[in-house]
């Protein structure tokens, strides 16, 4: 059994800033030397989320617009009333997106579809430094 941990660092703009992590996660898998196993990608914090999508401008715009319709920025949030930081919508968006992904590794490669990329979305209302944790386990 092999276990390998790595971090991916990002400078983000907030407000649904989206980053394709696919190549960077694939590099972690290559470095681990695992041929069969799992790669887990995790974002610490409560205002960032992970998903998969075709990293194409139309699909990204559609996703951002869907997130805005589901969790609008400009309505009242109890979190904002309590803390006054204006990012109640950020926490709800990130919770719906989820903080983690697990991707099977087969023949030393991430098992992703042809048009499927790993996407980090910064849901916060300000720029941030992010660290994404990648753990690879397998043989």
What is the pLDDT of the chain when averaged over all its residues? 97
pLDDT at site 58: 98
CATH of 2-138, one of 2.40.50.100, 3.40.50.1000, 2.60.120.460, 3.40.220.10: 2.60.120.460
Whole-structure pTM value: 0.94
pLDDT at site 114: 95
Domain spans, the chain: 2-138
Per-residue pLDDT tens for 35-76? 999 999 999 999 999 999 999 999 999 999 999 999 999 999
- List of residues 6+ apart from 104 with CB closer than 8 A: 37, 38, 110, 111
Give the whole-number percent of the chain exceeding pLDDT 70. Answer: 100
pLDDT at site 84: 92
pLDDT at site 118: 98
pLDDT at site 10: 97
Q: Is the dihedral of CA 28, 30, 32, 36 positive or negative?
A: positive
């Amino acid at each position: 059994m092999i276990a390998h941990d790595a971090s991916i660092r990002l400078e983000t703009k907030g407000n649904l800033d989206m980053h394709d992590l696919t190549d960077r996660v694939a590099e972690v898998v290559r470095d681990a030397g695992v041929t069969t196993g799992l790669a887990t990608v995790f974002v610490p914090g409560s205002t960032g989320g992970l998903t998969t999508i075709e990293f194409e401008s139309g699909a990204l715009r559609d996703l951002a617009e869907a997130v805005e319709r589901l969790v609008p920025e400009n309505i009242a949030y109890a979190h904002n009333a309590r803390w006054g930081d204006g990012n109640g919508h950020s926490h709800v968006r990130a919770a719906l997106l989820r903080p983690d992904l697990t991707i099977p590794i087969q023949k030393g490669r991430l098992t992703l579809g042809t048009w499927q990329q790993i996407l980090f979305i910064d849901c916060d209302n300000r720029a941030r430094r992010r660290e994404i944790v990648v753990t690879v386990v397998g043989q």
